[in-house]
Chain A
Amino acid sequence: MNIIELQGITKRFDGLTAVDNLSLNVPEKSVYGFIGPNGSGKTTTIRMIMNILYPDSGKLYLFGREHTGARVDNVGYLPEERGLYKKMKVNELLRFHGELKNGKNLNNEISYWLKKLDLAEYANKKVETLSKGMSQKLQFIVTIIDRPALIILDEPFSGLDPVNAEILRSAILEFQQNGATIIFSTHDMNMAEKMCDYILMIYKGRKVLDGTLLSIQDNYGTDTIRIHAEKGSSVMENIRGIEKINDFGQMQEIRISKNADTQEILSEIMKRTRIYRFEVTKPSLNDIFIRIASPEKTE
């Protein structure tokens, strides 16, 4: 069953098309990642799913029913730009949002999540005393305090240090294991690769990728070589079959042309330098993202 179905939704702002004829099916209990450059239409799509914005055309179904008007309690939403009532105490704030979402067993839920996200000692402190990272974790608890069946997170990891990002990631996965459906938008391709069952990429308001990571990568074929060469990327120039070199310092990622012979490329590079690692693979999500949204592509 699909938790969300978008059928050709379009949204325009003052003549600018923010989302253009977008269709999407989000299966139940899946983790769906929305990726795309800034301003591509991810947040607008999410706001339409939440019914905060209304599409100009197209239809939107949530839990199998057409979604118009009232809020659905069973959905947790973490917006990209978020704020909290700073003068409220942490537990009062969570109770307020829990009551607003008609949450059950709020006392237990509040204690459980504060403890899980290392915020228990701040339960009676005012929100204004929390650091930015703590506020973000509290914001996450606000989103899931009623244990919703659908969780929509707009850039949940932005600004978090690796430790807190990992805490948040494990909390999200706990929900998935308990049967929730999760949608999140991110610029962190590594996190998207690790967490998402499905990936949607929106570019200039249009859907450009949609599917599992493997199916997306299959579309591009095995056209990537990850190599660690002693003399770096300088020795890889002017080798037949190499289309593009991305130099990451300790490692280089090479995109090869369609019928290039990887053995020939390997032997050519070996003539010029020592090689510590050589791996023929599918392109990473990050690479696919850049291929679609790079400035050259834009031009």
Chain B
Amino acid sequence: MRKIFVLAKREYNSAVRTKGFIIGLLLAPVFMGGSFIAFALMKDKVDLSDKHITVIDHSGLMKEYLTQAVEDRDKNEIYNKETGEQIKPAYYLEFVNPDTADIFQQKLNLSDKVRSKKMHAFIEIGPDILHPGDDPVKSGIRYYSENSALDAVRDWFAGSINNKIRQLRIKELNLSDKSVEGLFNWINLEGLGLISVDKKTGAVKDARQIGVAETIIVPYIMVILMFMMLMMGAIPLLTAVMEEKMNRIAEVLLGSVTPFEFMMGKIIGSIAVSLTAAAVYIIGAVVTVGQLGLSGMVPFHIIPWFFVFLILNIIMVGSGMAALGSACNDNKDAQALQFPAMIPIIIPLFIMMPIIQEPLSHFSTTLSLLPPFTPMLMLLRMSTPVSIPVWQPIAGLIGVILFTLFSVWAGGRIFRTCILMQGQKPKLGNLVRYVLKG
């Protein structure tokens, strides 16, 4: 055991006492949460160029209303009232009569204008929008642009046109505006947790509001953090072991330690590296949310589980990576093996959303009890606001412990056989043979 710790200490020092580790520690969350950060930074960056829109109104109901609505918008909504700074693009509307002889030619001409950037989009309003019939073309409103799916202009016109249609329908019913005042008042269903009892005082506690942050972001961060720690600690073992084999350091060390001690020294060093990084992130996150007054969002009861699953996951993945590294003869071998070896930790990332949405489903439960996925997926389920049955994390933990023991045993047998072997390609059949026959 002493030798394992001497090896682990060297691994830890060589990893942590480098600029690369500090830079990686700072940059990893930036890369991982890059899309969130970019979204947050870019959300106020709006394209302010003028938007010219042409309308083909088959109904003949909208010209006066939309012209006025656009005029009001450009006057009242596109400038910041305090600073006078423009914050939204101005809209310029043009109505054209439908070409009843060849509507497709007319729409093609308008499309060409959009393509040549002479205008932003055109809208075709069907003739039967007030009283929709069976024909979706006649009853619909169509918006044509180069990027119609994600276009704020489309949303604005959809709201305005439907507002006018609603007004016209109310008018047809001879109802006064006052009598329908509350008719369209939408009441949201507030998302809350469950009523609980305060363990200290015994008093009944009211339910807390459950937001998107607790439902999605907290579980997401937990799993991404574990993925990052694996990338930082376990995955590099493949190339590290391969390099020590190729640089002939392995045999020098094997004069003093057994192959198993060698492998475990590297894995424990990696665990220490990952725990250091994880502690930095988690303490940093807890302090930050505390400063922001959002401590209630942090699932403190999950943190011990996080560390237990993290340690087991690094041993499980790390022993596999070290074994594969020992079987490689060059960088080409290592590159070929790295991606397949990472699949068990990549799959949970792909199936995160369905599991966050339905943490109690059969699919979620089954996958989270498969040992290679348990550390990430059980933690994901436990991080959601939904309570999962108590036996499941315990059963998952037992499964992971058993599978980790198997990984270390199998990895150790491959490692022992391959670490001094030269010229043999790391084929699956050979690796299985080494596990079975040693």
Contact = CB atoms under 8 A, between A and B. Distances in A.
A, B assembled together: yes
Interface of A: 47, 50-53, 69-71, 73, 75-79, 81-88, 96-97, 99-102, 139, 142-143
7 shortest A-B CB distances, which residue pairs?
A77-B255, A83-B248, A83-B247, A83-B249, A79-B251, A81-B248, A100-B256
Interface string B233-249: 00000000000100111
B255 A79 contact: yes
Contacts of A87: 14
Contact of B252 (A47, A82, A86, A99): A82
Contact of B257 (A47, A78, A100): A100
B258 A69 contact: yes
A168 B7 CA distance: 28
Given A85-B14, A87-B14, A71 B256 contact: yes
Contact of A50 (B2, B3, B244, B255): B255
Interface string B353-396: 00000000000000000000000000000000000000000000
A97 B249 CA distance: 12
B258 A70 contact: yes
Interface string B293-334: 000000000000000000000000000000000000000000
B6 interface: yes
B420 interface: yes
A85 B10 CA distance: 10
Given A52-B420, A88-B14, A81 B251 contact: yes
A79 B6 contact: no
A75 B255 contact: yes
A181 to B, nearest CB: 16
Interface in B250-290: 250-258, 261
Given A71-B256, A71-B258, A97-B256, A82 B248 contact: yes
Contacts of A102: 2
B254 A52 contact: yes
A139 B256 contact: no
* Most A-side CB within 10 Å, residue of B6, B249, B255, B261: B255
Given A83-B247, A88-B14, A100 B7 contact: yes
Contact of A76 (B10, B251, B255): B255
A88 to B, nearest CB: 7
Interface in B104-153: none
Q: Which of A78, A88, A100 has the most CB of B within 10 A?
A: A100
17 contacts: A50-B254, A51-B258, A73-B256, A76-B255, A77-B252, A77-B256, A81-B248, A83-B247, A83-B248, A83-B250, A85-B14, A86-B247, A100-B3, A100-B6, A100-B253, A100-B256, A100-B257
B238 to A, nearest CB: 18
A75 B7 CA distance: 18
A84 B252 contact: yes
B14 A142 contact: no
Interface string B5-45: 01100100010000000000000000000000000000000
A70 B261 CA distance: 10
B249 A85 contact: yes
Nearest to B420: A52
A134 B42 CA distance: 57
B325 to A, nearest CB: 15
A84 B10 CA distance: 13
A88 B249 CA distance: 13
Contacts of B257: 71, 100
Contacts of B253: 100
A243 to B, nearest CB: 41
A171 B308 CA distance: 50
Contacts of A101: 256
Contacts of A96: 6, 10
Contacts of B250: 83
A84 B249 contact: yes
A81 B419 CA distance: 13
A139 B261 CA distance: 21
Nearest to A142: B252
Nearest to B422: A81
Contacts of A142: 252
Contacts of A100: 3, 6-7, 253, 256-257
B10 A79 contact: no
A5 B254 CA distance: 21
Given A52-B254, A71-B258, A82-B252, 19 more contacts: A50-B255, A70-B258, A71-B255, A71-B256, A71-B257, A73-B256, A75-B255, A76-B255, A79-B252, A82-B248, A83-B244, A83-B249, A83-B250, A84-B252, A96-B6, A100-B3, A100-B6, A100-B7, A142-B252
Contacts of B261: 71
Nearest to B244: A83
Nearest to A53: B420
Contacts of B14: 85, 87-88
Contacts of B258: 51, 69-71
Nearest to A13: B421
